[in-house]
């Protein structure tokens, strides 16, 4: 095990409908680097992951949003999928949680549709980022500079497009979290 992220507490904000690979692979990468990565969700119990349109595995929730605050963590990971970030961006507590990370100048990594939460938290203006192509207009309308690349880093913000980009995403996420962590 590497120790680039040893003792860093990372929040992984997800709910039902998260794309399984975008949760599972970055979560494993964080933990392999020594991070204490915790699944934070809207309700206790488990969340249902998806493999595109099919049900995937269930994952245990470590903490609910009402039990945590951004100050409890050094960084934030927002996996994608379609349903996951759409539900989260409609939930005030989730949007506030994301905004609190940004206001505290803590690193945030988001993949696929995950940047919808960044848009809703009003933190993409004048930022370079990428996402699943279908939400590029939302990002541009919020003042962001959308770029079609596998991974884009703008300061403490790391974004990526899709499951095929996960190896690039994980590398830049770990690098950014290690550089900007505790």
- Sorted by where each starts, the structural domains of the chain and their CATH numbers stand as 9-180 (3.40.50.880)
Does the annotation mark 30 as catalytic? no
Query: What is the residue-level pLDDT of the chain in tens, covering all 182 positions?
Result: 678 999 899 999 999 999 999 999 999 999 999 999 999 999 999 999 999 999 999 999 999 999 999 999 999 999 999 999 999 999 999 999 999 999 999 999 999 999 999 999 999 999 999 999 999 999 999 999 999 999 999 999 999 999 999 999 999 999 999 997 64
- Asked if 46 and 58 count as a contact pair (C-beta separation under 8 A), the reply is yes
| CA nearest neighbour of 121 among 89, 76, 79, 73 | 89
Which residue of the set 113, 127, 156, 162 is catalytic?
113
In angstroms, rounded to a whole number, what is the distance separating the alpha carbons of residues 52 and 82?
Answer: 9
Element (H, E) at 4: none
- Asked if 40 and 93 count as a contact pair (C-beta separation under 8 A), the reply is no
pTM of the model: 0.97
Does the annotation mark 122 as catalytic? no
């Amino acid at each position: 095990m590497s120790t680039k992220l040893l003792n860093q507490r990372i929040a992984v904000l997800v709910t039902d409908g998260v794309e399984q690979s975008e949760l599972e692979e970055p979560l494993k990468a964080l933990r392999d680097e020594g991070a204490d990565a915790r699944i934070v969700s809207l309700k206790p119990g488990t969340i249902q992951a998806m493999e595109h349109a099919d049900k995937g595995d269930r994952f245990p929730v470590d903490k609910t949003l009402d039990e945590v605050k951004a100050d409890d963590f050094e960084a934030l990971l927002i996996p994608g999928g379609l349903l996951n970030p759409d539900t989260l961006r409609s939930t005030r507590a989730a949007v506030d949680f994301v905004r609190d990370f940004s206001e505290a100048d803590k690193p945030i990594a988001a993949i696929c549709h995950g940047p919808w939460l960044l848009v809703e938290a009003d933190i993409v203006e004048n930022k370079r980022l990428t996402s699943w192509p279908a939400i590029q207009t939302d990002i541009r309308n919020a003042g962001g500079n959308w770029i079609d690349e596998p991974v884009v880093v703008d300061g403490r913000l790391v974004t990526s497009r899709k499951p095929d980009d996960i190896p690039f995403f994980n590398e830049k996420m770990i690098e950014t979290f290690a550089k900007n962590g505790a």
